């Protein structure tokens, strides 16, 4: 095996983060008005399901995503679940997605009693491959009046759910062409890609709907939380309605005319998010600086540090290197973690998990290649 310069790499990361203590993969950064906004919630008693920060958060997100509307929700997973329902996913349908993702992507499909179909990713973006989607549909697609069906299973293919891995946008133009041809709405799992741009436009704004996460490990956090974004006002209203128990507005009567959810984001979480979003541009710049410093370092060691693809601007949420093979990957993981520098392999592919082992999938050639080689390295804002 070639020399991976692991001791030098560990020292470089310790110098970068200016500590020899444990260095986590990603921690939140609170240097704005977080405490002020949280105190305001407590002082005014508006800590729960209503309050001005929820509205303010929705406006900030719509501005950042450049969409007409945003709906705050309790977490990103719930957001994807509801966004799929809004896109028309019903029980028994199929949803095209990638196996190389965090488990929430697939779970959100199954919460709608729909079936995930796992298609391959591209090597460069690590996200859903338009070519893989096209190949699958050419073989199995059956375009009918009311949408696209899988002629092998007889099920409707009611959505395509690409995920922008670590904040690197998928090939959206090509994916949109394929999905348009087959009349399949796109819902973007943009949980990891807040602030990432594709040809100058924010991820999340390309699909019929998009979803962001504000979990504690994401680029900006509300503690826990999510947001659905869309340009379709009818869907946004419906999204707000469904995520707030589907209650008909009335001065005192309780009347609910659909099976809604209690998926609201509490005001106290929105307050934290508002303070975080005010700093988003700064976070993006600092991450870009860290990425370029990593890039310079790893290039002198002959190790491939992943950078944004052509026509995109990544948010560099989680940064990563690509090792030459699984043996190198394992040595990198073992050595760094043993010395307090947290690193983590990319996710195990969804069809390796017991609940997804029997799902339809294609060859997964690129996904398996990346599964064996990609390692995340400390990426916090400093």
Ligand X SMILES: *Cc1c(COP(=O)(O)O)cnc(C)c1O
Given the rule CB under 6 A, which residues bind ligand X? Answer: 75-77, 101-102, 104-105, 163, 189, 191-192, 213, 215, 226
Residue closer to ligand X (CB basis): 215 or 360: 215
Nearest residue to ligand X, by Cβ distance, number only: 76
- The residue (of 75 and 238) whose beta carbon lies closer to ligand X is 75
Contact criterion met (CB below 8 Å) for 39 and 189: no
Q: Which is nearer to ligand X, 141 or 345 (CB)?
A: 345
Least Å distance, CB 4 to ligand X, is 27
Smallest distance from ligand X to CB 230, Å:
17
Q: Which is nearer to ligand X, 163 or 178 (CB)?
A: 163
How would you write the chain as a 3-class SS string?
CCCCCHHHHHHHHHHHHCCCCCECCCCCCCCCCHHHHHHHHHHHCCCCCCCHHHHHHHHHHHHHHCCCEEEEECCHHHHHHHHHHHHCCCCCCEEEEECCCCHHHHHHHHCCCCEEEEECECCCCCCECHHHHHHHHHHHEEEECCEEEECCCCCEEEEEECECHHHCCCCHHHHHHHHHHCCCCEEEECCCCCCCEECCEECCCCCCEEEEECCCCCCCCCCCCEEEEECCHHHHHHHHHHHECCECCCCCCCCECCCCCECCCCHHHHHHHHHHHCCHHHHHHHHHHHHHHHHHHHHHCCCEECCCCCCEECCCCCEEEECCCHHHHHHHHHHHHHCCECCEECCCCHHHCHHHCCCCECCCHHHHHHHCCEEEECCCCC
CB of 306 to ligand X, least distance (A): 16
**Could you tell me the smallest distance in angstroms from the CB atom of residue 108 to ligand X?**
7
Pick 297 or 351: Cβ nearer ligand X = 351
- Choice between 128 and 184, CB closer to ligand X: 128
CB of 265 to ligand X, least distance (A): 10
Q: Which is nearer to ligand X, 77 or 230 (CB)?
A: 77
Cβ 174 to ligand X, closest distance in Å?
20
**Pair type for strands 374-377 and 226-230:** unpaired
Residue 268 near residue 105 (C-beta atoms within 8 A): no
Shortest distance, CB of residue 262 to ligand X, whole angstroms?
Answer: 15
Q: How far is the CB of 277 from ligand X (least distance, A)?
A: 15
As given in the structure block, the two tokens for residue 37 are 């906004």
Q: Which one, 267 or 269, has the nearer CB to ligand X?
A: 269
Report in angstroms how near the CB of residue 165 gets to ligand X at its nearest: 8
Would you say 77 or 112 has its CB closer to ligand X?
Answer: 77
């Amino acid at each position: 095996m070639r020399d991976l310069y692991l001791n030098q790499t560990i020292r470089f990361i310790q110098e970068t983060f200016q500590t020899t203590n444990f260095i986590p993969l990603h921690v939140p950064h609170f240097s704005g008005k977080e405490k002020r906004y949280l105190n305001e919630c407590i002082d005014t008693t508006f800590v729960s399901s209503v309050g001005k920060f929820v509205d303010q958060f929705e406006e900030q997100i719509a501005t950042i995503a450049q969409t007409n509307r945003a709906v705050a929700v309790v977490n990103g997973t719930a957001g994807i679940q509801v966004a799929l329902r809004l896109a028309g996913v019903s029980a028994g349908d199929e949803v095209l997605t990638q196996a190389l993702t965090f488990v929430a992507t697939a779970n959100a499909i199954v919460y709608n009693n729909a079936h995930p179909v796992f298609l391959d990713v591209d090597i460069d973006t690590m996200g859903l491959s338009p070519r893989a989607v096209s190949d699958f549909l050419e073989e199995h697609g059956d375009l009918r009046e009311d949408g696209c069906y899988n002629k092998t299973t007889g099920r409707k293919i009611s959505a395509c759910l690409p995920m922008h891995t670590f904040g690197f946008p998928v090939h959206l133009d090509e994916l949109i062409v394929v999905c348009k041809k087959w009349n399949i709405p796109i819902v973007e799992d943009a949980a990891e890609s807040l602030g990432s741009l594709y040809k100058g436009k924010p991820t999340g704004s390309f699909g019929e709907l998009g979803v962001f996460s504000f979990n504690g490990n994401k680029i900006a956090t509300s503690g826990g939380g999510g947001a659905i974004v869309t340009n379709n006002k009818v869907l946004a209203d419906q999204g707000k309605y469904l995520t707030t128990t589907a209650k008909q507005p009335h001065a005192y009567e309780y009347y609910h005319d659909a099976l809604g959810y209690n998926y609201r984001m509490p005001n106290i979480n929105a307050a934290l998010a508002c303070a975080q979003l005010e700093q988003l541009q700064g976070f993006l710049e600092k991450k870009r600086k860290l990425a370029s410093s990593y890039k310079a370092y790893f290039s002198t060691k002959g190790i491939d540090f992943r950078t944004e693809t052509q026509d995109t601007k990544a948010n560099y949420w989680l940064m990563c290197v690509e090792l030459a093979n699984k043996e190198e990957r394992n040595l990198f993981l073992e050595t760094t973690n043993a010395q307090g520098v947290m690193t983590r392999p990319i996710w195990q592919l969804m069809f390796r998990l017991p609940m997804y082992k029997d799902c339809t999938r294609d060859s997964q050639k690129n996904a398996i290649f990346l599964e064996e080689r990609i390692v995340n390295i400390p990426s916090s804002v400093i």
